[in-house]
Amino acid sequence: MSANLKSGLLTLLVLASVTGCDGESSYDVTAAGSTNHSGFDFQTGSLPMPKEPNDNPASEEKFQLGRHLFYDKRLSGNQTFACESCHQQALAFTDGLAVPTGSTGEVLHRNSQTLTNVAYNASYTWANPVLHTIEQQLVIPLFGEFPVEMGINDANRDEILQRFEQDPRYQTLFNQAFPNEQQPVTLPNIIKALAVFNRALISKESDFDQGTMSSAALRGQALFNSEKMECFHCHSGFNFSDSTLHADTVFVSRPFFNTGLYNLDEQGSYPAQDNGLYTVTQNAADKGKFRPPTLRNLAYTAPYMHDGSIATLSEVLDFYAAGGRHIESGFYQGDGRLNPNKSEFVNGFTLSPQEKQDVLAFLGALNDEAFVRNPRYANPFLPEDNQ
């Protein structure tokens, strides 16, 4: 990893150590309100415009370059892995695994998050309060060493850039995306293009969006928004996550919650390889706290939770109905229902069989088949030259 990139990551870690996070919700009064200044068509439908960084306005040319890079294994150090390896369109840009394996065979600790409406995330990764843009987040999978994902480092970075510099298709794509640069094939520009592609992955055609929900789904929506279930406290708004940001947001909420998934030592600990927000803040009260993800496209994104440890949506509802998870034996033994850091909103509830089916119907109404089939987001390479 280059000195500049290492310095940037170190800065993020230092910021994390001094950033206040109360674990339930942190509100930042920021200059978040802005309009779409690039003029790029994000095709948002009725959804709000995503917020764009001032130093990376979107363009169709950047989008198309980012789309190619996203699906190209030549971007990984050993040419065996692409962004798409963990983020497959047919699975709403997830991989169907509990946790993924990186390009070198190293097993990662967290479930691959959906890229559905990733433009609207107020923070990135499962539990980092200081990653506020896609551009910042991309440093982790591209250059991260613990664990290795794409595997770009000081030893191979020049070779990786040459792969694209010597490809006529990419010569055109980079020149079109960055027309004012004499040498546009750079790692910062790769990050910018990938970020634009990710930012444009907008899901907006579910039954919920189109006002075509069934009677069962409408009943489920009422339950979802009731004090009985408390779901709406963490999964509210158009993107069904309290950690949401768009171009006109003024007050930015970046909450993290402990749902009682584990309680290994009766003091709130989660498995050592991933203690959530605590890993960044070193505040014991932050053990097991994670960002609330969007609930859109859940039909495609199993298994669930930050570690993929719950297989089905029905089981997820059972978990919340119990007020947490009680693991009676084994390495992860502990009663998550008694986790001292557990959110006040995870108290358990009782549903009749019909009510449970109604809630599942509502969650199903947030699925968007057009999104997972949209050719605009698909692999641009023909089968014979697919990287």
pLDDT digits (tens, 9 = 90+) for 91-138: 999 999 999 999 999 999 999 999 999 999 999 999 999 999 999 999
Q: Once rounded to an integer, what is the mean pLDDT over residues 192-215?
A: 99
For residue 383, is it within any domain?
A: no
Residue 234 assigned to a binding site: yes
For residue 280, is it within any domain?
A: yes
Range(s) of the domain holding residue 199: 3-203
179 in the same domain as 133? yes
Give the total number of structural domains in the chain: 2
- pTM for the whole structure: 0.91
- H helices within 101-201, ranges in order? 134-143, 157-165, 168-177, 187-199
Greater pLDDT, 386 or 113: 113
Distance separating alpha carbons of residues 171 and 183, to the nearest angstrom = 10
213 in the same domain as 173? no
Q: Once rounded to an integer, what is the mean pLDDT over residues 56-83?
A: 98
Q: Residues 261, 305: contact at Cβ < 8 Å?
A: yes
Residue 87 maps to which CATH number? 1.10.760.10
Polymer length of the chain: 387
Residue 14 is predicted with a pLDDT of 34
Residue 385 is predicted with a pLDDT of 54
pLDDT at 6 over 90: no
For residue 250, is it within any domain?
A: no
Residue 35 is predicted with a pLDDT of 46
For residue 300, is it within any domain?
A: yes
Residue 306 is predicted with a pLDDT of 98
Instruction: Lowest mean pLDDT of 112-121, 171-180, 266-275, name the range.
Output: 266-275
211 in the same domain as 198? no
pLDDT at 25 over 80: no
pLDDT at 23 over 50: no
Residue 387 is predicted with a pLDDT of 44
Q: Residues 23, 277: contact at Cβ < 8 Å?
A: yes
For residue 385, is it within any domain?
A: no
Q: Once rounded to an integer, what is the mean pLDDT over residues 23-28?
A: 42
Distance separating alpha carbons of residues 179 and 40, to the nearest angstrom = 17
Task: Kindly state the DSSP code that residue 260 receives in the 8-state scheme.
Answer: S
Residue 161 is predicted with a pLDDT of 99
pLDDT at 82 over 80: yes
173 in the same domain as 94? yes
Give the burial class of 251: count Cβ atoms within 10 A of its Cβ; 0-12 exposed, 13-18 middle, 19 or more buried. exposed
Q: Give Cβ neighbours of residue 14 (< 8 Å, ≥ 6 apart).
A: none
Residue 83 assigned to a binding site: yes
pLDDT at 17 over 70: no
135 in the same domain as 224? no
70 in the same domain as 38? yes
Residue 273 is predicted with a pLDDT of 87
122 in the same domain as 99? yes
C-alpha closest to that of 317 among 372, 359, 280: 359
pLDDT at 288 over 60: yes
Q: Which residue has the tokens 């991933």?
A: 274
For residue 40, is it within any domain?
A: yes
Q: At what angle do helices 187-199 and 134-143 cross, to 10 degrees?
A: 120
Residue 38 is predicted with a pLDDT of 81
Proportion of the chain above pLDDT 70, given as a percent = 89
119 in the same domain as 218? no
pLDDT at 325 over 50: yes
Greater pLDDT, 32 or 125: 125
Would you say the C-alpha torsion 254, 52, 144, 372 has a positive or negative sign? Answer: positive
230 in the same domain as 211? yes
147-169 tens-digit pLDDT: 999 999 999 999 999 999 999 99
Radius of gyration of the chain (CA): 21
For residue 381, is it within any domain?
A: no
pLDDT at 42 over 80: yes
**Over the chain, what is the mean pLDDT?**
92
149 in the same domain as 223? no
Residue 36 is predicted with a pLDDT of 59
146 in the same domain as 233? no
Residue 21 assigned to a binding site: no
Q: Once rounded to an integer, what is the mean pLDDT over residues 344-351?
A: 98
For residue 380, is it within any domain?
A: no
Residue 87 assigned to a binding site: yes
Q: Once rounded to an integer, what is the mean pLDDT over residues 30-57?
A: 81
184 in the same domain as 216? no
